[in-house]
Amino acid sequence: MAKNVVKKIKLQIPAGKATPAPPVGTVLGPAGINLQEFCTKYNDATREKMGDIVPVEISIYEDRTFDFVLKTPPTPTLLKKAAGIEKAGKKGANDVVATISKDDIKKIAETKMPDLNAYDLDAAVNIVAGTARNMGIAVKGLNDQELQEQAREAHEAEAQAQKLEAELEEMEESAKAMAEGSANVEVESTEQTKEENNESEE
C-alpha cells in the first residue's frame, strides 16, 4: 500500500554540504523527519556535484519517513560558474560582466533539459542564452553585435541621465533659494500683520 505524502518541501542546498543546522534544520525540523539521515543521504547523492547548488524536492509521509528527488542546479548558478563570476550584472545586457562560449551554453542547456520547458536542445539553448543575457553574460559569437549596440545605447542613456540629474540639482537649488526667500517674506508679513493688529487695538 502506497504511503500518503503529507508534505512536499523544496530546498536549494550546496551539493555535499547539507547539515542539520539552519536553513535545513529550520525548514525540515517542524516536519519531524530525521535531519541527520536526510543530510547524510543528500550529501552522498550530491557528492560528485560539489560546488553546485542542487535543488531537492522532499516528500514527507505520515509516518515521518521521506523520499527526495534531486533537480538540476539553477540556470543562473551554472552560468555564473561557467563565467567564473560571483555576481550577475545589475543592468542585464547593458552591463556585461563576463563572456562565455556557445559550447558553455550548450553544456548548460543539456544539463538543464530535464527541468526546462523545452522540446529540444535548440529551444533549451535559447532559454539559457536568454537567462545569460539578462545576467549581463555575453555569449561569444551569438550576440556580439547586439551587445555592442546595447552597450552603446546604455552609454548614451547614462550620459543623458547624468545631464538630467545635473539639471534637476540646479532646479532644486534654485527652488530651495526661492523657498528660503519666500519664507523670509512670509515671516516679515506675519510680523507686520501683528503690528497692524496692535495699532488697531490701541
The answer to whether position 53 is within a domain reads yes
Same domain for 105 and 14?
no
**CA–CA dist 141, 188 (Å, integer):** 71
Same domain for 36 and 129?
no
Same domain for 138 and 41?
no
Same domain for 129 and 171?
yes
Q: How many domains is the chain partitioned into structurally? A: 2
Same domain for 43 and 124?
no
Residue 79: pLDDT band with limits 50, 70, 90: very high
Same domain for 159 and 64?
no
Of 17, 43, 70, the last residue of a domain is: 70
Same domain for 66 and 80?
no
Structure confidence by residue, pLDDT tens digits, 9-43: 999 999 999 999 988 999 999 999 999 999 999 99
Q: Residue 45 corresponds to which cell in the numbers above?
A: 547523492
**CA–CA dist 191, 79 (Å, integer):** 69
User: CB under 8 Å to 42, separation ≥6 — which residues?
Assistant: 13, 18, 56, 68
| pLDDT the model gives residue 89 | 84
The average pLDDT across 154-181 equals: 68
Q: How many other C-beta atoms are found inside a 10 Å radius of the C-beta of residue 173?
A: 10
The answer to whether position 197 is within a domain reads no
Same domain for 37 and 98?
no
The answer to whether position 42 is within a domain reads yes
| pLDDT the model gives residue 37 | 95
The answer to whether position 45 is within a domain reads yes
Same domain for 99 and 51?
no
| pLDDT the model gives residue 170 | 76
The answer to whether position 194 is within a domain reads no
Same domain for 43 and 134?
no
Residue 118 has pLDDT above 90, yes or no: no
| pLDDT the model gives residue 194 | 47
Of 20, 54, 70, the last residue of a domain is: 70
**Domain span at residue 25?**
5-70
Same domain for 48 and 80?
no
Q: Which residue has the cell 500683520?
A: 193
Q: Is the Cβ–Cβ distance between 2 and 26 less than 8 Å? A: no
pTM: 0.59
Task: Characterize the bridge pairing of strands 66-70 and 98-100.
Answer: unpaired
The chain-wide mean pLDDT, for the chain, equals 80
